[in-house]
Amino acid sequence: MKRKTRMYTDVKSWNPFKGCQFDCSYCIPSFQLQAKRQKHNCNLCYEYAPHEHPERLNAFPSERTVFVCGNSDICFSTIDYTHKIISAINNRNRRYPNKEYYFQSKRPAYFKPFLKYFPDNVILLTTLETNRDEGYREVSKAPLPSKRYRQFKKLAYQRKVVTIEPVMNFDLEVFLDWIVELDPEYVWLGYNSRPKQVTLPEPSKKKMRKLIEGIRDNNIRIKGKELRGLKTK
CATH code (residue 204): 3.20.20.70
- Contact at 8 Å (CB) between 175 and 211? yes
Query: Which residues constitute the domain of residue 194?
Result: 2-224
Does 118 fall in a domain? yes
Does 94 fall in a domain? yes
Does 192 fall in a domain? yes
- 3-state SS class at 29: helix
Does 199 fall in a domain? yes
pLDDT computed for residue 4 by the predictor: 40
pLDDT computed for residue 135 by the predictor: 96
pLDDT computed for residue 3 by the predictor: 41
Does 149 fall in a domain? yes
- If one counts the domains in the chain, the total is 1
Q: Which helix (H) or strand (E) holds 186?
A: strand 186-189
Does 233 fall in a domain? no
pLDDT computed for residue 110 by the predictor: 98
CA–CA distance, 70 with 4 (Å, rounded to integer)? 10
pLDDT computed for residue 194 by the predictor: 86
CA angle 6, 221, 146 (to 5 degrees): 75
> Residues 73-107: pLDDT tens digits?
999 999 999 999 999 999 999 999 999 999 999 99
CA–CA distance, 71 with 35 (Å, rounded to integer)? 9
Q: What is the CA radius of gyration of the chain?
A: 17
* pLDDT < 50: residue spans in the chain: 1-5
- Note the helical H segments in the chain: 33-36, 43-46, 79-93, 145-154, 172-182, 205-217
The neighbour count for residue 149, using CB atoms within 10 Å, is 23
- 3-state SS class at 52: strand
Does 229 fall in a domain? no
Does 231 fall in a domain? no
Residues in the chain: 233
